[in-house]
C-alpha cells in the first residue's frame, strides 16, 4: 500500500517528466516562445492616403465633420487623418477642395483627389463616388475634376 507521500511524489515525477518531454519536443521542432521581430513596417502608400482622405469625405457627407473648402481648412483637421495628412501637406496628393462625395455614374468619372504625379506619370486617384484606383497619365488628363 502506498502512502499519501508516495502518491504525491509519483504525481510530481509525472509532471516533471512531462515538462521535460514538452521542452525537448519544442526544442527539437524549433518552436520558440519569442515573438518574431517584424522586418520593417511598410510605409503608407498614396492609395492608403487617399483611403484615409475618403474617410474625411464620408464623415463630411454624413454631417459629422465640416467639408474642408481649402488646404488651410484641411490643415486644421489633418491630425485626425494621420495617413492622408503627410501626403496632402507635402503636395503629393492634390484635392478639389469644397467638393464632396456624390453618387451616380458621372461621379464615378470625376476626380476628387489624386496623386499629383498622376498627371505626368499616372498614379492613384479617388473619384467623386469614393472609388480609388490607379490610372494612366492619359486617363488622368481625360477625367474631369469633381463639381459640387
Judge whether residue 77 has pLDDT over 70.
yes
pLDDT digits (tens, 9 = 90+) for 28-54: 444 444 444 455 689 999 999 999 999
Whole-number mean pLDDT of the chain? 83
Q: What's the pTM value of the predicted model, to 2 decimals?
A: 0.72
What DSSP state is assigned to residue 79?
G
Residue 29 has what pLDDT?
A: 42
pLDDT in tens, 96-124: 999 999 999 999 999 999 999 999 999 99
Task: Look up cell 489624386; give the residue.
Answer: 114
How much is the pLDDT for 9? 44
Percent above pLDDT 90 for the chain: 71
Reduced to 3 states, what is the DSSP secondary structure of residue 136? coil
Q: What nine digits make up the cell of 106? A: 458621372
Contacts of 137 (CB under 8 A, 6+ apart): 118, 119, 120, 121, 122
The predicted model gives 71-83 an average pLDDT of: 96
Contacts of residue 92, Cβ cutoff 8 Å, sequence gap at least 6: 46, 49, 115, 116, 117
Query: Residue 41 has what pLDDT?
Result: 81
Q: Could you please report the per-residue DSSP string of 36-78?
A: PPPS-PPPPPHHHHHHHHHHHHHHHHTTSSPPPSSHHHHHHHG
Q: Given this model, what pLDDT does residue 27 score?
A: 42
Burial class (CB in 10 A: 0-12, 13-18, 19+), 2: exposed
Amino acid at each position: 500500500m502506498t502512502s499519501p507521500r508516495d502518491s504525491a511524489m509519483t504525481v510530481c515525477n509525472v509532471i516533471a517528466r512531462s515538462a521535460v518531454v514538452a521542452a525537448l519536443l519544442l526544442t527539437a521542432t524549433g518552436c520558440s516562445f519569442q515573438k518574431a521581430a517584424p522586418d520593417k513596417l511598410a510605409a503608407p502608400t498614396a492609395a492608403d492616403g487617399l483611403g484615409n482622405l475618403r474617410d474625411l469625405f464620408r464623415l463630411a457627407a454624413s454631417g459629422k465633420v465640416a467639408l474642408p473648402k481649402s488646404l488651410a481648412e484641411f490643415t486644421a483637421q489633418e491630425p485626425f487623418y494621420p495617413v492622408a495628412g503627410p501626403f496632402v501637406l507635402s503636395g503629393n496628393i492634390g484635392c478639389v477642395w469644397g467638393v464632396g462625395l456624390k453618387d451616380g455614374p458621372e461621379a464615378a468619372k470625376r476626380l476628387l483627389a489624386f496623386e499629383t504625379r498622376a498627371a505626368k506619370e499616372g498614379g492613384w486617384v479617388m473619384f467623386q463616388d469614393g472609388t480609388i484606383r490607379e490610372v494612366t497619365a492619359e486617363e488622368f488628363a481625360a477625367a474631369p475634376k469633381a463639381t459640387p
